[in-house]
A = this chain, B = another copy of it.
Amino acid sequence: MISFTLAGTDCDWAQGLCSRLRETRNLSMRLASELGPEDMAVQAMEDASPTKWHLAHTSWFFEKFVLERYIESYAPFDARFNYCFNSYYESLGARHPRPKREILTRPSLDRVLAYRRHVDLALEEFFDGGLAYAPESYGLIETGANHEQQHQELMLTDILALFAANPLRPCYRSPRSHNPGPEPRAQKWIAFEGGVRRMGMDGEGFCWDNERPGHEALLAPFRLADRPVVNLEWLQFMEDGGYDAPSLWLSDGWALANRERWRAPLYWEHCDGQWFCMTLEGLQPVDPAAPVAHVSYFEAQAFAQWAGSRLPTEFEWEAAAQTAGREANDLGSDALRPLPAGAGAGMKQMFGDVWEWTGSAYLPYPGYRPPAGPLGEYNGKFMVGQHVLRGGSCATPSGHVRASYRNYFYPHQRWQFSGLRLASDAS
């Protein structure tokens, strides 16, 4: 466990950055602590990466974007790691192909952990020297910490994909109680007014480039469900032939669902007359009252069609989130699975539990400019063919998301904790 100290700096924000960085770096290690070296070496599929690769890549990020840039005397831990652990930055040189990351059994886990320590020590010295607080380097360190948080969520979803493909269905951690909850509370519609609303990030705090610039959007009056769609409702969709009714589906989704024989959300298995779902605590009975997860955009859209509703736009979601409570079943809650909504009125579970598919394609905001330099590749170059998800999940590190936060995946992808909340026109 690392411990960044601050030499002669006692202002709050500097303390804050230092402690956030320390906590983030430590959390990555903690998330991997129960895994064996083999678990950390393999990727379940092309979209996923080995845990070890995540641990190395997040260190490479600091090395490349902070240490090599600001510390003249900094010696890279191993010059060849730039090839191994660059994810997709064309401007930073050639890189190992993503679908083959598991080939990297060397560097070994031990050596990757040494790499992490090397980077942590250099960051500590950087803090000690006080240089970390210059605006530019401060921003890059904050970016690095947020970047590592994103990979923490991926570590969990990728290991779940790996264990779900393993015939032994191993547990990431020992199962805690999965008492079947009570019936889910009925969904209620909450009405929102239309009008011109401010969207995206205007202020000073950290955010990703794709949340900027703040801008105005015109909303028609709309309604949102007070909670995400739950498993009981998804079972009703299945029983009503949802996976057999082409009229509900987008054409590409229907073709894919048939080709891959989708009959239920990813990770669901039918055993002895009951539905189970593979979770980070192994195969567990589907909880009727918990939000459905691991559904694709195609499935989410078909469900909404079946329900006579639609998916919200990302701006409808954001308008609602601007006033919603921030309490969340996120990674900090340590449930590691979506939980039933609590009691009470108003919008619930806008943050945490499941990422919520929106009907909005992932596109640049008006006036969007990617940052200069390699970080310009971070979000902008993916702005085609994907849809926006909002709100974070049970695997998202605490404090990582906000109302303007935009996640994005392809319409066919299912291995994230992705669910949905219904919307409809107010009329």
Contact = CB atoms under 8 A, between A and B. Distances in A.
Interface of A: 36-42, 44, 52, 80, 83-84, 88, 90-91, 96, 100, 102-109, 162-163, 165-168, 170, 196, 215-218, 220, 246-247, 249-254, 297-298, 301, 359-361, 363-364, 366-367, 376-377, 381-385, 387, 411, 425
A196 B425 CA distance: 20
B105 A384 contact: no
A425 B347 CA distance: 36
B367 A425 contact: yes
B218 A88 contact: no
Given A38-B52, A90-B246, A251-B382, 18 more contacts: A37-B38, A38-B40, A38-B105, A38-B106, A41-B41, A41-B105, A42-B102, A100-B165, A104-B168, A196-B218, A216-B220, A247-B377, A250-B381, A250-B382, A301-B384, A361-B361, A366-B425, A384-B387
A84 B166 CA distance: 9
Among A107, A109, A218, find the residue whose CB has the most chain B CB atoms closer than 10 A. A218
A82 B44 CA distance: 22
Contacts of A411: 384-385
B218 A90 contact: no
The list of the 8 closest CB pairs from A to B, nearest first, reads: A361-B361, A90-B246, A38-B41, A218-B218, A38-B105, A37-B37, A251-B381, A106-B170
Contacts of A39: 105-106, 108
A84 B359 CA distance: 34
24 contacts: A36-B37, A38-B40, A38-B52, A38-B106, A38-B109, A41-B41, A41-B105, A96-B167, A100-B165, A103-B162, A103-B165, A103-B166, A104-B166, A105-B162, A106-B163, A196-B218, A215-B220, A216-B218, A247-B376, A250-B382, A250-B384, A252-B385, A367-B425, A384-B387
Contacts of A96: 167
A80 B166 CA distance: 11
Nearest to A40: B38
Among A106, A165, A196, A376, find the residue whose CB has the most chain B CB atoms closer than 10 A. A106
A105 B159 CA distance: 11
A382 B42 CA distance: 30
Contacts of A42: 41-42, 102-103, 105
A91 B167 contact: no
Nearest to A362: B361
Contact of A166 (B106, B381, B382, B383): B106
Contacts of A217: 218
Contacts of A366: 220, 425
Given A90-B247, A218-B218, A106 B384 contact: no
